[in-house]
Structure 1
Amino acid sequence: MAVLNLLLCSANAYDGDINYWIDWIGQLQKRGFAGLDANYPPVYMFWLWLVARFHESLQLVPENGLLLRSLVTAPVALAHVLALLLAHHCLNKTRADDRTWQQVMALLALNPAILMNGPVWGQVDMIFSLFLVLSLYALIEARYLVLVMPVLCIALLTKFQAICVAPAVAPLLWHHRKSRRLWLGLLPAALAAGLLLLPYLLANSLGSMFRQTYIQASSLYPYATYHANNLWQLAGLDTRPDNLYLLDLAVSPTGWRVLLTPKHLGIALFGLWSLWLFISGLRRRDASLHWRNAILSALGFFLLLPGMHERYLFPAVSIALIAASRFSAFRTAALWLSVLCFANMCFVLHPSGGALPYLFAALTLGLAVRLMVGKPAAFNAASALLARLPLTPWWILAIAIWALTISWQVRLRLPDHEGWLDATRIPGRTYSQAWGDLQTGSSVDSRMLVVAGQRHARGFGTHAESVITIPVPPGAERFSTQAGLDDETSGGEVSFFIRLDGRTLWSSGRLAAGAGAVSADIDVRGGHSLQLVVDPLGSNANDHADWLSPRFRIAR
């Protein structure tokens, strides 16, 4: 396993996240924990502090390479090995046969989601996920209860996302409320927390750490979804603001309409999901049910809440893998969750997935329902009959969701009730730009579209020099848009042009950063190809240009 992890570290798949580790290691080299500007809790930052000391002792400058990637992901490889040992222990306890032992251990050792997330991607989700499954094992199996509180504490101090299993953990804590061993664990938990927080306290940066990692981090990505193939991906809201009024996609609704935004609707849905898991966990003490609830809790966290990332399915994968080592019924779920999580990360590396992200989102929802209802025979006699056919109820549900998804995507490409058609939804678009990739619904840096302090829900985020070519839809009479430089950078200067079949019909003139957006409205009757052009006017440094609310007026 160590050799495999080391080999995959050379893949260098996503340098953007590795650069965060380099920056934080550099900060820790210069000033330690004082004034540390990082949004990760203490546990992993301690490891980066050791990496910083290692580089310092050898007079090395942290840089993206095999050495740094290996050091950064070393705790991930260790967590992977420990997860294998836990699975081995569970398999021995259940007296699994050789075939089951080989299948489960192979799925865990060569799991595509774990290998992509850690050594390839450079992420550390495996670390806090290990602490989660250790605490769940102790609670569900009623063994080593004295370790539950300290392990849960360490999980939360590794990544705040550990709260994803709270609806499954709460009823287990209630069941063991009379156990002295459980509450004796509060003392080592307090001791562990004190030791981990002490360097921040001595550096007078404890308050700053909590703000960055537990408060600001929760609103760092105010999107319905951030490349996560979940409910909001199905709704076509990837990298769209989480405060959209879903009935007409307006931003920042007031009054009761705020309840119908991804932010509030997602929280409400997860609240109902959590309530069901909590009640079902209170009613029964069956170990299999509690493992299932833990998987569903982490899965619902990913599926329903806004602001999820592509990797946030990972805790459900880790829990399902250990559950599969205890109960064979979870092996299929562990396999599918691993594949879906792996696919999520692949779509970010290769975002031109077409309709595939929506299919995977539908499959993820189908898997959640399949786990929730248990065996197919639990539906009714018809479901029991279908269970003998290749199309199980789970697949039927997935196909139904897929059909609804397609219909939703088609509806988004139709004009609204006033005859306006969102240009970002028109297929056949092509582009070229000097830096980065064209973004829809977000800036070129994948942030919310903001020009002169005004937030916008629709539009293209590009970088000068750029040309976006859009086919003029049949029946189009007018094209309307706004244009300006995004607030995410400063100092840029550009000029915007709109061309129809090669003829320039509109120009913004010279626009500098901080200026408000300018509006354009042109006649496109008889046109075939519309081009949105951004001229850098010399240097293109900081030229993050936005085309806001681009739309065609369609004749009725």
Structure 2
Amino acid sequence: MSSSSSAASLAEPMSARTFGLWAAGLFLAGLAARLLLGLYTNGYVGDQMYFIRWMQGAMEHGVRLSYVHADMQNYPPVFIAILEGYGHVLNALGLEIKTAHLTSKALPILFDLLAMAILPLVLRRRLSRRSQLLLLGALALNPALLADGAIWGQIDVFHSLLMALGVLALVGQPFLAGALLGIALLSKFQAIVIAPVIGAYALRRMLRRDFAHPLLLAAGFLAPLALTAACFSANGTLDDMVQAAYLSATDMYPQLSLNAFNLWYHLFTDPSLNDTTTLAAGMSYKTFGFLLLGLACAFVAAYVLLLKQLRTVHLLMASAFINLAFFMLPTEIHERYGVPAMLFLVLVPFLMGRETTSAFDTTASPRIVLVPEPAAGTGSPHPLRRWTPRRLWSFAAGWFTLSTALNIWMVLNGGMGGKWLGGRSATSRGFAERSHGGSDGSGGLGRSGFDGSEGFGNGGFDGRGRAAAESGQPWRDASAGGWRDDSPGSAFSGGFGSGSLVGWEHALAVALSAANLALLLGLAALMLLQFKQKERPRT
């Protein structure tokens, strides 16, 4: 078949039936992969343990008072409320939750499924059906999302999805965008990273004497925050929540890198070094990291303000860059904090060259311009073989997806020779039936509530009782007030955040860190080159 006939076949519209079958198949493949990984992997038992304890606290005391009674509860209230609801669902179904078990990974899997369903749906008016399927596949079988959610048991995709939806809605639906971004901030403090993009865009509108849009954006953003503040102020727990969920976040783990393959992971010094150590001229590493992040914020703000023809795809680029800068430049960064940047990077190529304003927009936008085949005998290369901006951004998305997945997997394993595949010995019990209820020593979430007799902190989920025994994980008391896994091959066994990989695994980790730094600089260069490009006429 000739190249021209192949291009013609690809240009033919896909029928709704064919599209539906492919979409269902990809969605089911993503679901099956997550269920299998959730069943047959242990994941990061420490995080799962905390989530279970926070769930117990919210169910026993309510979300607001849980910040007074719970141990190390440092996530904002939206996720805590979701945990409480999940606990009630388990009780209604007569199920118990255990670490290293599918029940402790169900919420992360659900958030992954939401991203798979919502993002292609939101972009359906601006992507062809084939592109929608490609996006669905990129999310359904994304190795970084699989590692973070179904294997580890974390929920980074949740606030990442809210941020992405907020940016997609920013141009055309400012109130909705503000509300989504406000909820993202109430779900994970890391959502604050998007502020330079949002603030610069609002300022751009005001400089063009459009004050209605920024006012609607601010109203939408403040609405969920004000409602939450009023709710917590009603019983005097607002200060407790703000201190636990936000103010304590920057000093909890004072190391250069918490196993994130970034600027501080052995590129210049030991990542386990205390970040309050003086770097030069009285400046600590922590201050220097914030200074670098501040420069990145200034760059992004200038990009949004000065780019002559700004569309939603450019806002996605700016969001991808600042999230990557947040992962790469400041200290105290965890390995999983690359997930938001990865999600934004995945979205960018799908919008480049297409309708480049939001699916929520009412404004006109350029249509796709198809580049014709070169004339016979001209010797011109096929357009797909050129390193176009879309191909470069696609390469960036693919690379950082792989890098993020490797970062998470290697940390989870304590090196790639670890025990992330726990096998049936630790995880095959499934949804264990409770013979005596939750508070009688079974270790489950009982129908009758929590009296503490055999529950969290008293032998059931205190790191030494039934939860540890059922998951097959030995535990010891940690000075931070939580629990750390001492099992062989565990990510904790070498010290949390110590970056203690050895041999070829250490070399690979350092190489990934250097490549990630090169990627950050490369994205900055691509964004700067856009100032030299001529505007395309609107059609």
The TM-score normalised by the length of structure 2 is 0.62
**Alpha-carbon shift at residue 201 of structure 1 (Å):** 3.7
Partner of 1:31: 61
Say if 2:483 is the partner of 1:367.
Answer: no
SS at match of 1:228: coil
Shift of the 153–263 alpha-carbon distance from structure 1 to 2, 3 Å rule, reads same
Shift of the 197–72 alpha-carbon distance from structure 1 to 2, 3 Å rule, reads farther
Partner of 1:171: 200
Residue correspondence of structure 1 range 283-298 to structure 2 within 5 A: 283-284=306-307, 285-287=309-311, 288-298=313-323
Partner of 1:45: 80
Shift of the 106–240 alpha-carbon distance from structure 1 to 2, 3 Å rule, reads same
Task: Please give the alpha-carbon distance, in whole angstroms, between the structure 2 residues aligned to 1:207 and 1:136.
Answer: 30
**Alpha-carbon shift at residue 331 of structure 1 (Å):** 1.7
Say if 2:159 is the partner of 1:135.
Answer: no
**Alpha-carbon shift at residue 36 of structure 1 (Å):** 4.1
Q: Is the 8 A contact 2:182 2:220 kept in 1?
A: no
Partner of 1:355: 507
The one-letter code sitting in structure 2 at the alignment partner of 1:286 is: L
Q: Is the 8 A contact 2:285 2:331 kept in 1?
A: yes
The structure 1 residue matched to 2:264, chosen from 199, 217, 232, is 232
Task: Please give the alpha-carbon distance, in whole angstroms, between the structure 2 residues aligned to 1:16 and 1:7.
Answer: 21
Residue correspondence of structure 1 range 78-157 to structure 2 within 5 A: 78-82=113-117, 85-87=118-120, 89-90=122-123, 92-95=125-128, 98=130, 100-139=131-170, 142-157=171-186
Task: Please give the alpha-carbon distance, in whole angstroms, between the structure 1 residues aligned to 2:172 and 2:59.
Answer: 41
Task: Please give the alpha-carbon distance, in whole angstroms, between the structure 1 residues aligned to 2:349 and 2:255.
Answer: 33
The structure 1 residue matched to 2:349, chosen from 324, 327, 331, is 324
**Alpha-carbon shift at residue 276 of structure 1 (Å):** 1.6
Deviations 1:432-482 (A, max 9, x none): xxxxxxxxxxxxxxxxxxxxxxxxxxxxxxxxxxxxxxxxxxxxxxxxxxx
Q: Is the 8 A contact 2:108 2:149 kept in 1?
A: yes
Partner of 2:251: 219
Percent identity between matched residues is 26
Say if 2:49 is the partner of 1:19.
Answer: yes
**Alpha-carbon shift at residue 226 of structure 1 (Å):** 0.8
Q: Is the 8 A contact 2:259 2:411 kept in 1?
A: yes
Deviations 1:35-54 (A, max 9, x none): 24210001111111112223
Decide which structure has the larger Cα Rg and report it. Answer: 1
Deviations 1:375-428 (A, max 9, x none): 999999xxxxxxxxxxxxxxxxxxxxxxxxxxxxxxxxxxxxxxxxxxxxxxxx
**Alpha-carbon shift at residue 268 of structure 1 (Å):** 1.0
Residue correspondence of structure 1 range 384-399 to structure 2 within 5 A: none
Shift of the 94–57 alpha-carbon distance from structure 1 to 2, 3 Å rule, reads closer
Task: Please give the alpha-carbon distance, in whole angstroms, between the structure 1 residues aligned to 2:172 and 2:250.
Answer: 33
Shift of the 171–377 alpha-carbon distance from structure 1 to 2, 3 Å rule, reads closer
Say if 2:271 is the partner of 1:246.
Answer: no
Q: Is the 8 A contact 2:109 2:149 kept in 1?
A: no
Shift of the 291–59 alpha-carbon distance from structure 1 to 2, 3 Å rule, reads closer
Say if 2:185 is the partner of 1:160.
Answer: no
**Alpha-carbon shift at residue 122 of structure 1 (Å):** 0.6
Partner of 1:265: 288
**Alpha-carbon shift at residue 188 of structure 1 (Å):** 4.7
Partner of 2:299: 276
Shift of the 78–199 alpha-carbon distance from structure 1 to 2, 3 Å rule, reads farther
Deviations 1:26-82 (A, max 9, x none): 212322231242100011111111122234446655422545224432542343224
Partner of 1:309: 334
Task: Please give the alpha-carbon distance, in whole angstroms, between the structure 2 residues aligned to 1:71 and 1:359.
Answer: 34
Q: Provide structure 2 residue ranges, at least 5 long, that are not aligned to the other structure.
A: 1-29, 353-389, 416-500, 533-539
The answer to which of 230-239 and 70-79 deviates more is 70-79
Shift of the 103–74 alpha-carbon distance from structure 1 to 2, 3 Å rule, reads closer
Partner of 1:338: 401
Partner of 1:476: none
Deviations 1:485-526 (A, max 9, x none): xxxxxxxxxxxxxxxxxxxxxxxxxxxxxxxxxxxxxxxxxx
**Alpha-carbon shift at residue 346 of structure 1 (Å):** 1.5
Task: Please give the alpha-carbon distance, in whole angstroms, between the structure 2 residues aligned to 1:54 and 1:273.
Answer: 43
Deviations 1:187-220 (A, max 9, x none): 4544433444555344432211110111012211
Task: Please give the alpha-carbon distance, in whole angstroms, between the structure 2 residues aligned to 1:204 and 1:52.
Answer: 25
Shift of the 334–112 alpha-carbon distance from structure 1 to 2, 3 Å rule, reads same
Task: Please give the alpha-carbon distance, in whole angstroms, between the structure 2 residues aligned to 1:379 and 1:65.
Answer: 50
**Alpha-carbon shift at residue 367 of structure 1 (Å):** 1.1
Task: Please give the alpha-carbon distance, in whole angstroms, between the structure 1 residues aligned to 2:527 and 2:220.
Answer: 41
SS at match of 1:313: helix
Partner of 2:239: 207
Shift of the 199–289 alpha-carbon distance from structure 1 to 2, 3 Å rule, reads closer
Shift of the 379–153 alpha-carbon distance from structure 1 to 2, 3 Å rule, reads closer
Shift of the 74–378 alpha-carbon distance from structure 1 to 2, 3 Å rule, reads closer
The one-letter code sitting in structure 2 at the alignment partner of 1:267 is: F
The TM-score normalised by the length of structure 1 is 0.61
Task: Please give the alpha-carbon distance, in whole angstroms, between the structure 1 residues aligned to 2:102 and 2:512.
Answer: 35
Partner of 2:449: none
The one-letter code sitting in structure 2 at the alignment partner of 1:168 is: V
Deviations 1:278-336 (A, max 9, x none): 11211114324332221111111111101001011111011111222212342221111
The one-letter code sitting in structure 2 at the alignment partner of 1:348 is: V
Shift of the 200–276 alpha-carbon distance from structure 1 to 2, 3 Å rule, reads same
Q: Is the 8 A contact 2:159 2:188 kept in 1?
A: yes
The one-letter code sitting in structure 2 at the alignment partner of 1:317 is: M
Higher relative contact order (CA 8 A, sep 6+): 2
Partner of 2:470: none
Q: Which is helix-richer, 1 or 2?
A: 2
Q: Which is strand-richer, 1 or 2?
A: 1
Task: Please give the alpha-carbon distance, in whole angstroms, between the structure 1 residues aligned to 2:121 and 2:82.
Answer: 27
Deviations 1:140-195 (A, max 9, x none): xx222221211111011011101122222222122233252552354454443344
Shift of the 102–304 alpha-carbon distance from structure 1 to 2, 3 Å rule, reads same
Partner of 1:522: none
Q: Is the 8 A contact 2:194 2:319 kept in 1?
A: yes
